[in-house]
Amino acid sequence: MKESSRRGFMGKALGAVAGLGAIGSLVAMKKTWDPLPSVKAAGFTTLDMSVFTVGEMVTEQWRGKPIFVMKKSAEMVAKQTEEQSARDIVVNGTSYMVAIGLCTHLGCIPAYKQKEEYFLCACHGATFDSAGLVTKLPAPRGLDIPPFKIDGNNLILGEVGPEWQALKDNGITL
């Protein structure tokens, strides 16, 4: 190999190594910028909806907020008004009530009265029915429904799926 072509070859080889190094640095930098997997996961809560008991109001957590969840039987669904049914979240053919457990007046946590089947906010007396609709002022609207996506038996809170988008578009939740 002539001296000039050897230099050309060495130049290209060094350039290739430098290029690989630059890509490696960029990958390393991107890893630094990306949120940690735990931080990403922190925005979402996955609920396996098959484990809930019919008629039992359960409080889950999502982003530090209480989330009320209740599985409904076919009989319960049949008794509902149209307005109540419009708030149902249907996962694998079963209806659920899912709502953020914060009063829409000033954010207190309403208590569920299991026997009477309604929520009472002790702060200023607002009430909500078991579907989350407001039944007594001063709460300005029903309990909000957290963004969700349905994935098989799971409800992924924090992701926006078409079912939640439809609720929002129809003014059922903020």
> Residues interacting with ligand FES, by CB under 6 A?
103, 105-106, 108, 121, 123-126, 138-139
Shortest distance, position 110 Cβ to ligand FES, whole Å: 7
**CB–CB of 140/121 below 8 Å?**
no
Shortest distance, position 125 Cβ to ligand FES, whole Å: 6
Helix (H, G, I), strand (E, B) or coil at 71: strand
- 49 vs 99, beta carbon nearer ligand FES: 99
**CB–CB of 158/63 below 8 Å?**
yes
In this structure, how many other beta carbons lie within 10 angstroms of the beta carbon of residue 7? 11
- 66 vs 161, beta carbon nearer ligand FES: 66
How many residues are present in the chain? 174
- 87 vs 105, beta carbon nearer ligand FES: 105
Nearest Cα neighbor of 114 from 138, 130, 135, 94 is 130
- 47 vs 100, beta carbon nearer ligand FES: 100
- 139 vs 155, beta carbon nearer ligand FES: 139
> What token pair was written down for 113?
């009265």
**CB–CB of 2/9 below 8 Å?**
no
With vertex at residue 90, the alpha carbon angle to CA 85 and CA 93, rounded to the nearest 5 degrees, is 115
